[in-house]
Amino acid sequence: MHFSPENLDFELSPYTGLTRKHWIDAGKFILEGVFRNIKTMDSPVLVPRYEWEVTYPNKNTPAWKVQAEYYEGLARSFFIAAPLISIEPDLVIAGKSMREYYKRHILRSCTPGDEYYVFSYSDMDKDSKPSFDLHTYQQTVETCAMVIGLVTTRKEIWETYTKEEKDTIASFLHDYAEKATVPQNWRLFNMLDLAFLNMMGYEIDKSIMREHAQAILAYYAGDGWYRDGHTFDYYSAWAFQVYGPIWCAWYGYENEPYIAKRFEENSNELMNTYDRLFDEKGNVTMWGRSNIYRNAATSPFAANYNLKNPTVNPGLARRISSGALMQFFGRDDVLYEGVPVIGFYGPFTPMVQSYSCAESPLWLGKAFLCLELPENHPFWTAKEEGGVWDEMEKGEVRETVLNGPGLCLTSHHDNGEMTMRTGKVIKRVGDSNGRWCYAKLSYNSRYPWESDLPSGLSAASYVLKEPDIDKTEQINAIYWSGERKEVLYRRALFGFESSRDYHWTSMIDLADFPVSNGIVRADKLRLFHKPVDIYLGSYGFPCPDAKWRIEEKGDAKAVVLSGHGSDGKPRHMAMTIFGGWDELKVEKSTGTNPDTSESFIIFAHASRERLFAYEPYVLISQVITKEGDVDFTDDEIFSIEKIDYTDKERCGGYGPVTISLKNGKIYTVDFNGMDGNLMV
């Protein structure tokens, strides 16, 4: 079952047809799915579960975290319910009054002795021994969702509590607000708890607030992005750039004007380019951790309106938000027993993190915070706009290079896709989930990342196989070197460990640039160990009925895949090798793609045998994709007219490599000096 909006309005919303009423209907649709699983008004928000090994609670879960699941379901569903209650106070879902349900269970969750009391910080921490590590608890996360919902429903819920009931809730929140938290985006949870208490007339420790706020500001990396711990991902959007603007409105402008001004500047900086993260349809790209939150990635658009001087384009913001909403809720496989599954589309265990439970996907509800904006707000009244997609011409690509977070975002006119190339990535050896989430060579809005195949090979990534020592090496770090003359430079490291000298790490210097339907790679090997087999995978091709053919032209060779996607529409993918490679092959895989149960990946392969031998260093390839009945043209598959090397052996061991395309564009790849310009 999927969400089917009725009476679409293509005058106001020429791209999606969705209006504020459709968003209200979508919110009710999700809540209906959740609450039909909740037996009575006294039952907690626990939803049907099908996964028991990775997610909590499981056999290793402590008692306090069992209670945390109750709170997570309550708080995250409140993201959706709160604005709907504000709009329609008498809202009834699955036979239950939403106002009365949340009023009752919020109080119960904070009341010691109640069956569904979720424990205060002090209750859980009283028996813990001091240690270097801070004691942090999942409930801290959910307090933030709770206070946002309570402000939204201030008149409908908060103000209907007695003073004693308010004090009970405030005491519970206060305990979390001023206790330990994870020193990254979690600081914002404490900040909003404190801001809520201050707003409601309770005393707070403003020194703690200032400490958290200055730390959040210090995480700012530029281009609208904050570094979350060691990495960059959507947490910059759905935590820093949602809670930051809310904090400004609740507390910052009045009490910390300098910090609030900086938060405002940073949010507006994000608005300058954030639309480029979404494709022509408004699709969210599967990238980074916690992708079970799906279209929550659109929440910074509406959050920008909490600022005194917002700069978001309302028509473009709503177009993207509505497109992302339908990307997921227009599909049948996103729901299990009416509730969003642990996955990106259908259930997909490889992407699941152990900090999640069955109710965790409801964090996507923060996309519905746009419903806090009144019906006469520009977000709802402006005509939808297509942004960069309406500006481009046939064959054109637009690149947005963000050196702050190490992101290169490419909008491809001809296939409507957004491709993302990332840098500033380091994951520990053996962290396969981390590699898939962050260290793919490219992420695509229509072709979500694929987990490793049983053979050890990986889509959209290089893999080294060293037969003499029976070892397979994967990329676990990518350094960023930026764009020069329209070529993006990065460095991929295999099995990188900071304790080991750099020269004992195999590396590939990456150089790539876009073409109309994809990306051309001209990457240089920097290997210290041979013999070695080198493999490069295409994106996973989620078409179980795929057929393929081989084409050759001169020294170039291509594999072309054609099939039908999960939506039944034709899709095509081609991988072409131009230099440095030996062969191409296709592998079929089961259970490694989040879009379909079966998928296909094209792999390029090359062997290097002698340790100290001057052999081809530069590997030149291309991957292109498109949808529809029309196949690729010959010039699209074999886009390169000629390749000029500096060295007479045409190996690319030194000097620039010049690649001339058939469309007349010329790219010069030059790795000289790259070691002095690497960032992480």
Looking at residue 11, its pLDDT comes to 98
| CATH 1.50.10 corresponds to the domain 20-127+139-389 | yes
| Low-confidence residues of the chain: pLDDT under 50 | none
| CA gap 35, 46 in Å, rounded | 9
Amino acid at 91: L
> What beta strand segments (E) does 532-569 contain?
532-537, 547-553, 556-564
Tokens 């809540």 correspond to 31
Q: Per the confidence metrics, is the pTM higher than 0.75?
A: yes
| CA gap 284, 321 in Å, rounded | 10
Looking at residue 6, its pLDDT comes to 97
Looking at residue 229, its pLDDT comes to 83
Tokens 């049907």 correspond to 48
- Using DSSP's 3-state secondary structure scheme, residue 407 falls into strand
What is the DSSP secondary structure assignment for residue 282, as one 8-state letter? -
DSSP string, 340-383: E-SBSSSB-GGG--TT--TTGGGGGGGGGGGGGS-TTSHHHHSP
> What beta strand segments (E) does 201-291 contain?
220-222, 225-226
> Could you give the count of Cα atoms lying within 13 Å of 532 in the half-sphere of its Cβ?
24
> Could you give the count of Cα atoms lying within 13 Å of 289 in the half-sphere of its Cβ?
19
Tokens of 535: 């493999």
| CA gap 496, 366 in Å, rounded | 36
Do 20-127+139-389 and 397-676 have matching folds? no
| CA gap 55, 501 in Å, rounded | 37
> Phi-psi region for residue 456, left (φ > 0), alpha (ψ -120 to 50) or beta?
left
| CATH 3.40.50 corresponds to the domain 397-676 | no
List, for residues 166-210, the tens digit of each pLDDT value.
999 999 999 999 999 999 999 999 999 999 999 999 999 999 999
Looking at residue 127, its pLDDT comes to 66
Where along the chain do its domains lie?
A: 20-127+139-389, 397-676
The helices-and-strands tally (H runs, E runs) of the chain is: 18, 26
| CA gap 581, 281 in Å, rounded | 35
List, for residues 267-292, the tens digit of each pLDDT value.
999 999 999 999 999 999 999 999 99
Residue 504: CB atoms within 10 Å? 10
Whether residue 340 is preceded by a cis peptide bond, meaning omega within 30 degrees of 0, is no
Looking at residue 181, its pLDDT comes to 95
